[in-house]
Amino acid sequence: MPCNCKILAIGYLTLAAGAAAADDSRWSIGIETGPVRQARNDIQRPGDTGTRFGLDDTVGNGPYPFFRFEATYKLSDKHELRGLIAPFQIEDDGALRQDTSYDGQNFPAGPVNAKYKFNSYRFTWRYTLVDADRWLFKLGATGKIRDAEVSLRQGNTQARDSNIGFVPLLHAYGEYRFAERWRGILDFDGLIGPGGRAVDMALKLGYDVTKNLTLEGGYRMLEGGVDRDEVYSFALFHYAVIGARYRF
């Protein structure tokens, strides 16, 4: 019997397209870790009458370990959801350089135990604006829950300020695939507003070990704070980043 090659070819392409669609990854999970150093961490409470002191001067710059976990779900070719958990805490013994009034308590210069907590929980919606051979760019919005605490303890004297609040942020994500298996990555959450700002930006290099697994490494910066009568707090952290992302 004669072979209808055209029909066979169409059937093969249809099956291949269906297989490719079935292989499309909707989920991805990523982890990030490494050392982080505090370049600046100025604190004053109340912001108009308390004593401004640097937590980096009090307990040192670090480095301290950090960990992040991220999961994304692709709703469609253009729309994507992302969840991020980024806990971070410093607790160490140090020394105050001057007599310090913090949150209504007075601490003389000298040895002190300090705790700094800044846990971040975020939910992001983002939209793919560009998805070309080499370029990928997504833009969206992030809702951030901030769980923060700063406390000082010196003998029987202790002061603790904790705060849980919501922060809206702009989000951007970009990739440039400059070689086979290699990509440059930009990851950004940030916003500047009256009396405060928040910027979380990473520049990373990614290597595709397999179709589903990418190893990443690079640099992350976290900077921001608030300047109000109730509290003054501005910090700058530098991260050395290693991580991995798996798509399925």
Q: Is the pLDDT of residue 19 over 90?
A: no
Report yes or no: 151 and 115 within 8 Å, Cβ to Cβ.
yes
Q: What is the mean pLDDT of residues 179-204?
A: 95
CA–CA dist 97, 45 (Å, integer): 17
pLDDT tens digits for range 172-184: 999 999 999 999 9
113 vs 104: CA distance, rounded Å? 17
- Residue 33 pLDDT > 50, yes or no? yes
Which contiguous run of DSSP H or E holds residue 77?
none
Residue 8: per-residue pLDDT: 37
Q: What is the CA radius of gyration of the chain?
A: 24
Residue 124: per-residue pLDDT: 98
CA triple 101-195-47, angle to 5 deg: 10
Going by CATH, does the domain composed of 24-247 fall within 2.40.50.100?
no
Domain ranges across the chain: 24-247
Q: Per-residue pLDDT tens for 67-106?
A: 999 999 999 999 999 999 999 999 999 999 999 999 999 9
3-state secondary structure (DSSP) of residue 8: helix
* Residue 112 confidence (pLDDT) above 80: yes
Helix (H) or strand (E) holding 3: none
Angle at 55 between CA 50 and CA 56, to 5 degrees: 145
What is the pLDDT averaged over residues 218-244?
A: 96
Cβ neighbours around 44 below 10 Å, total: 20
